[in-house]
Chains A and B, each alone.
Chain A
Amino acid sequence: MAKREVQPINAGSMADIAFLLLIFFLVTTTMDVDTGLMRRLPPIPDKDQIDTDDKIKERNVFVVLINKNNDLLVENEEMSIYDLRERAREFIANPDDRENLPEKDYKDIQFFGNVYVPKNPVISLRNDRGTEYGTYLMVQNELLAAKNELRDEISMQTFGQKYDDLDEEHQDAVQQYYTSVLSEAEPKNIGGGN
C-alpha cells in the first residue's frame, strides 16, 4: 500500500466559530460608564461638640430650602430651579462687593498674587423628607455647576485652560480663589427616635 500524505486540517470553519463567539460578546457588551456627582459626607459630629452654626454671619450663608412639593426657597424668596445657578454664582463670587453678599478680603494666592475674594461663603441646603430625589439632585447639580463655571472662567482668564485640564498645583490655587462650602443640615427627627 502506498503511504498517503497527511492532508492538512481544513481550517476554513475556524473563522465561523470565531465570528459566532465575537457576535455573542458584541451583543452582551455594555460599554456604559458610570457617571455621577461626587460628594463627601461630613463625619458624624462628636456629642460634646458645640454647635457652631450660629457663629457664621448671615451674609456669608446662602440658604436653600426644598419643601415636599419640590418648591425652592432661596434666601427667603421663592425661586425657579433655573434661576438658582445664576443666584449661586452671584453669591460665591460677589462681583459687585455688595453688602448682603459674602464678605470679601485680600488674600495671597499662588499664581494670582494678592486678590480681593470672598472669604468663606457657605451654602446651606436643607430638604424635606418628602422632597423628590430628582429635584434634590438637580439643586445639588446647579450649586456645583455655579462653582465649576466660576472656576472654569477664572482659570480660562488666567491660564488659558479649563479647570479640569490644569495640573494639581494650579487647581489648588483656583480652588482657593473661589471657595464655597456646601453644608447640609443635620436631619432632624421631629417624631423622636434616635
Chain B
Amino acid sequence: MSRFKRKGKKGIGAINTASLPDIVFMLLFFFMTTTVMKEVDLKVNIRLPSTTEAKKLEKKDLVSFIYIGKPSIHFQKLFGTEPRIQLNDQFKAVIDIQDFIAQERDAMNESDQAKMSVSLKVDEETKMGVVTDVKQALRRASALKLNYSSIKVDNMR
C-alpha cells in the first residue's frame, strides 16, 4: 500500500519545453520561405480598380510590372501631379518601355521568354491616354500578354 502513497506525493513535474524551439523554428522557416520582400518602392499612388473576373497571376517571376499613377507627395514638387510611368525604381517615359521590355526579356531564360507577360498596375483615375500609349509601346515591343491588375471582388454593386 505504501507504494501507491509515495507515487501520489510526487506531484506533476514541469512540462518539458525542449521541443518548443523546434516548433517555433518550423513556423519561422515557413514564414521565411513565403515572405516576398517588396522589390520596388512605389513612387506613384495607385488605387487599383476592382473587377469580378480577375484571375490569379501565376508565375510571378515571368511577369514585369509597369506602374502608372500620380507621383506621391514627396515627388510632386519635382514631377508634378500628372500621372507618370514608373519602371523598376524610376520615373520613365513611354519611349523607355521598349528598352525596359528588352531588358526584362534578356534577364529571363530563353525557354521562358515566350511566356513573359506584363502586368499594368494603373490607378483608377488615370486617363486612358497614357495607358493607350503604353499599350501601343508594348505592342511595338511585341510583349502581347497583358494583365490589367485589379482587385477581385464578388459583386460590383
Contacts and interface: CB of A to CB of B under 8 A. Distances in A.
B45 interface: no
B20 A35 contact: no
Interface string A1-40: 0000000000110110011011001101111011111111
Interface string A35-60: 11111111110000000000000000
A116 interface: no
How many A residues are at the interface, by size bracket?
35 or more
Interface residues of B, number: 54
Q: Which 6 A-B pairs have the closest CB atoms?
A: A129-B129, A134-B124, A25-B31, A141-B51, A35-B54, A34-B57
A132 B147 CA distance: 17
**Looking at chain B's contact residues, is the secondary structure mostly helix, strand, loop, or mixed?**
mixed
Contacts of A19: 24
B135 interface: yes
10 contacts: A18-B21, A28-B35, A29-B34, A29-B35, A34-B119, A35-B56, A37-B147, A40-B144, A133-B123, A133-B124
A34 B56 contact: yes
Contact of A130 (B32, B128, B157): B128
Contact of A132 (B24, B53, B55, B124): B124
A29 B33 CA distance: 10
A135 B152 CA distance: 15
A39 B129 contact: no
